[in-house]
C-alpha cells in the first residue's frame, strides 16, 4: 500500500465507507426487517432524505440525537444519516425506568429525540429532560422522508475523530455513564470483528441484541 493510500484510508468516515458499498453493491440487500428489504441504493436514498430532514430541523455537526426504539430498519438508517451530518446518536435503553432514562437523556442533552410508538409512553414519563423536538416513527416520519430532497451523495460533514455514538454503561455501581465512540474507533472495531470471525462481503449479520447495546448497534 502506498503512502497516498494509507493517508486516504486514515480519512475514512462511516459515510465514506458506506458510500463505497453503495457504489460497488447498489442492488445487494443491505437491510432486512421482516418483510421489508432495502438494497444499498435504496437505503442510501432514505439515509440522504433523512439527513436532509434532520438538517432542515437545524441539526448539524456535533448535535446529539437521542433514539428510543426497538430494533427496526429505521434505526441503522438514523445512524447513517447522523453520521453524514456529523451528528451523534445517543442510544437509549428502553429497559430502564423513567428516572434512569431521564438521567441518560440529560447526559446527552439531545437537540432532538426519535422514538418508536412502542416506547412513546416511557419517553413521556421521562419528558422533563427530553428535547422539545420529538420525532415519532410511523406514517408522519415516512411522509416527511418522501417529501424531502436527498442530500448530495458526496455530502459528508464528519471528520474521522468526530463522535458517532453515545452508548451507556450498565449502571451496576451507580447511574449509567455515556461512552463516546468516534467514526475512527467504530471503523477499527468493525475491522477487528471482520478479522476475528473471517467475515466476507457475502456474510450477513443477525441483529438479535438490542441496538442500544454495543453488541447490536456497533455491528449493525
Q: What is the pLDDT of residue 190?
A: 79
Overall average pLDDT of the 137-151 stretch: 97
From CA 120, how far away is CA 125, in angstroms rounded? 9
Which pTM does this prediction carry?
0.90
- The 10s digit of each residue's pLDDT in 45-102 is 999 999 999 999 999 999 999 999 999 999 999 999 999 999 999 999 999 999 999 9
Q: Of the ranges 58-62, 74-78, 196-200, 207-211, which one carries the lowest mean pLDDT score?
A: 196-200
Q: Where are the beta strands (DSSP E) in 28-177?
A: 29-33, 36-39, 64-68, 88-91, 112-115, 134-136, 163-168
9 pLDDT exceeds 70?
no
The size of the chain, in residues, is 220
Confidence category of residue 172, pLDDT binned at 50, 70, 90: confident
Q: Which of 202, 174, 179 is nearest to 189 (CA)?
A: 179
From CA 155, how far away is CA 158, in angstroms rounded? 9
Overall average pLDDT of the 5-22 stretch: 81
Percent of the chain with pLDDT over 90: 72
On the 0-12 / 13-18 / 19+ scale of CB atoms within 10 A, 20 is exposed
Amino acid at each position: 500500500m502506498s503512502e497516498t493510500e494509507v493517508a486516504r484510508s486514515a480519512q475514512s468516515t462511516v459515510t465514506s465507507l458506506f458510500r463505497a458499498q453503495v457504489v460497488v453493491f447498489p442492488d445487494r440487500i443491505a437491510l432486512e426487517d421482516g418483510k421489508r428489504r432495502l438494497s444499498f441504493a435504496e437505503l442510501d436514498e432514505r439515509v440522504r432524505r433523512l439527513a436532509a430532514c434532520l438538517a432542515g430541523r437545524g441539526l448539524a455537526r456535533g448535535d446529539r440525537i437521542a433514539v428510543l426504539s426497538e430494533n427496526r430498519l429505521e434505526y441503522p438508517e438514523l445512524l447513517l444519516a447522523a453520521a453524514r451530518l456529523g451528528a451523534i446518536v445517543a442510544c437509549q435503553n428502553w429497559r430502564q425506568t423513567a428516572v434512569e432514562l431521564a438521567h441518560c437523556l440529560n447526559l446527552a442533552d439531545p437537540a432532538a429525540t426519535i422514538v418508536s410508538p412502542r416506547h412513546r409512553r416511557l419517553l413521556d414519563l421521562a419528558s422533563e429532560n427530553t428535547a422539545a423536538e420529538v420525532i415519532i416513527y410511523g406514517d408522519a416520519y415516512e411522509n416527511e422522508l418522501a417529501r424531502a430532497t436527498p442530500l448530495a451523495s458526496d455530502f459528508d460533514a464528519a471528520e474521522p475523530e468526530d463522535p458517532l455514538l453515545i452508548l451507556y454503561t450498565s449502571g451496576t455501581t451507580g447511574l449509567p455513564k455515556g461512552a463516546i465512540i468516534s467514526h475512527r474507533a467504530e471503523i477499527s472495531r468493525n475491522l477487528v470483528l471482520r478479522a476475528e470471525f473471517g467475515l466476507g462481503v457475502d456474510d450477513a449479520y443477525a441483529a438479535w441484541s438490542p441496538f442500544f447495546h454495543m453488541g447490536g448497534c456497533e455491528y449493525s
